[in-house]
């Protein structure tokens, strides 16, 4: 199991005829459309450091908690 060591916050919104398309639109506006998102149901782990900007690499896994 991988535990996140860094995090960043992103904000986006989307409108569409269905929830999946609206979520995709929100990801585009947040600048996170091309990431591999893994849904989580927890808060940040102890010791995780905030990164002002997300540095994207090809093997990056992004843990996400959509509201």
Count of the separate structural domains present in the chain: 1
Q: Is 41 a domain residue?
A: yes
Q: Is 40 a domain residue?
A: yes
Written as one string, the DSSP assignment of 17-53 is SSHHHHHHHHHHHHT-TTS-EEE--S-PPTTPEE-SS
Q: Is the pLDDT of residue 26 over 70?
A: yes
Distance in Å from the first CA to the final CA of the chain: 24
48-60 confidence digits (pLDDT tens):
898 887 777 766 6
Q: Is 46 a domain residue?
A: yes
- Whole-number pLDDT of residue 17: 96
Residue 41 belongs to what domain range? 6-64
Q: How far is CA 43 from CA 7, 22, 25, 46, in A?
A: 11, 24, 24, 9
CATH number of the domain encompassing residue 38: 3.30.60
Q: Is 1 a domain residue?
A: no
Q: Is 10 a domain residue?
A: yes
């Amino acid at each position: 199991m991988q535990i996140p060591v860094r995090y960043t916050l992103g904000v986006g919104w989307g409108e569409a005829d269905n929830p999946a398309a609206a979520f995709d639109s929100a990801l585009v506006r947040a600048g996170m459309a091309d990431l591999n998102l893994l849904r989580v149901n927890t808060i940040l782990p102890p010791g995780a450091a905030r990164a002002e900007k997300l540095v994207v690499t090809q093997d990056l896994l992004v843990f996400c908690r959509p509201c």
